[in-house]
Amino acid sequence: MPRGTGTLNDPYELSSSEEESSGPIEISSDEGSPDDSDDDIPIMVKYRKRKAAAMDEGADTEPEPEPPLQCDALRDALQEIEGMTGPDVPSRLSQVKMSPAERDRMLKIVYQRVCDKGFKGEKNPSDSATREQVRAVCGIINEVIFNGLLDRTPYIVGLNEEGTESKAGDCRPADWVVKRGKKVFMPARIQFNAGKLAAIVVVNGEIGPRLCNGLVCRDKVSIMLSVLMHEIVHLLIHAFVPEDLRKATGPGSSKWAPHGTMFMAIVQALYGHTDFKVALDTVVTSKSLNKSMVSPGLSVMLKVPGSSVATRGRVTKVNPKKAKVTMDTGDKFIVPYALLQRADPLN
Ligand SMILES: [Zn+2]
């Protein structure tokens, strides 16, 4: 890939390399999807209801302050970060210890605001996403999760349609480029592949679940959020970590690399992401497998790159996060469990 253009994109490519990573893959059954139960109403809404009730009763106590958007651990980190520069900034983010409930609460606020403000209450908008929506979603993430931290790193947004069809999103670092003999500053750019999202079929207002960054997303807003939250971590690392550290080679060099150890620690801490790939072409169905169902020797079906139908293969090796599969054609792939489908061994 050309130097200086980021290379930070997220095609879902089934890895055929020998490289295997460890760590559990968590398939959330409820990433940001709305629910009718009262417990799932965002805390902000509950709070306003309470405050309104108190005012109706003529309570003479001071109104409670608005609850903060971030949990204590994240708010403390963001406050400390205000006085920090350089790699300390993303490093501090990677250390945030948030409980799953705290993370869930925050992500639900993000989700609700994106639905309400960005998509007129639609979780599966039929129109293709616009640049303005990408900008709005990034703005909501900046406000709710980062308390304005992104304001320290100017960026533009774009729709990802220029020879990058296979990627769900992309983040290019700020750079100087030569145009007509003059050096011109190009700000960082976050791109989103609206075409890939629009291609997902909506039936009766619902879509088939998709695996995004290690979690299952059940609607288009969740997918877009997952992709943009991921790209924003690239943006922050580009902005605060010098290029020589990001492009280092040799022992320990994966620390600041795209999807390296610090990147993954941050997306896990803030969003619960356990992977960095987005598989919008494959529906996660009831036929999908999970780790407990897979062992070496199992016959499975898998949709391999370039094919529109699943074909047969056999699991040859398992690790905590992925399985190694040898297809009947002899091709080998390493894939997350949720992309494997059951196969009837008799046909
Ligand atoms: Zn990425």
Give dist(CA 239, CA 222) in Å, integer.
26
Alpha-carbon Rg for the chain, nearest whole angstrom, is 21
Residue intervals of the chain classified under CATH 2.30.30.140 are: 291-342
Helix (H, G, I), strand (E, B) or coil at 338: helix
Q: Note the pTM of the prediction, 2 decimals.
A: 0.71
41: pLDDT strictly greater than 80:
no
Give dist(CA 149, CA 142) in Å, integer.
7
Length of the chain: 347
Q: What is the pLDDT of residue 79?
A: 97
Q: What is the pLDDT of residues 241-269, one digit of tens each?
A: 999 999 988 887 889 999 999 999 999 99
How far is ligand 1, taken at its centre, from the CA of residue 7, in Å?
A: 9
How far is ligand 1, taken at its centre, from the CA of residue 83, in Å?
A: 27
How far is ligand 1, taken at its centre, from the CA of residue 111, in Å?
A: 21
305: pLDDT strictly greater than 90:
no
Alpha helices by DSSP H, the chain: 43-56, 72-81, 88-94, 100-113, 131-144, 194-198, 220-240, 243-246, 261-271
How far is ligand 1, taken at its centre, from the CA of residue 263, in Å?
A: 9
How far is ligand 1, taken at its centre, from the CA of residue 57, in Å?
A: 51
Residue 91: CA count within 13 A, CB half-sphere: 9
Q: What is the pLDDT of residue 164?
A: 64
Q: What is the pLDDT of residue 256?
A: 95
Could you tell me the two tokens for 144? 């709710």
Helix (H, G, I), strand (E, B) or coil at 100: helix
- Inter-residue contact 10 to 263 (CB < 8 Å): no
293: pLDDT strictly greater than 80:
no
Give dist(CA 110, CA 283) in Å, integer.
24
Q: Which CATH number fits domain 291-342: 1.10.260.40, 1.10.3720.10, 2.30.30.140, 3.40.50.2300?
A: 2.30.30.140
Give dist(CA 72, CA 121) in Å, integer.
29
Q: How confident is the model at residue 24 (pLDDT cuts 50, 70, 90)?
A: very low
How far is ligand 1, taken at its centre, from the CA of residue 208, in Å?
A: 23
Give dist(CA 153, CA 187) in Å, integer.
9
8: pLDDT strictly greater than 80:
no
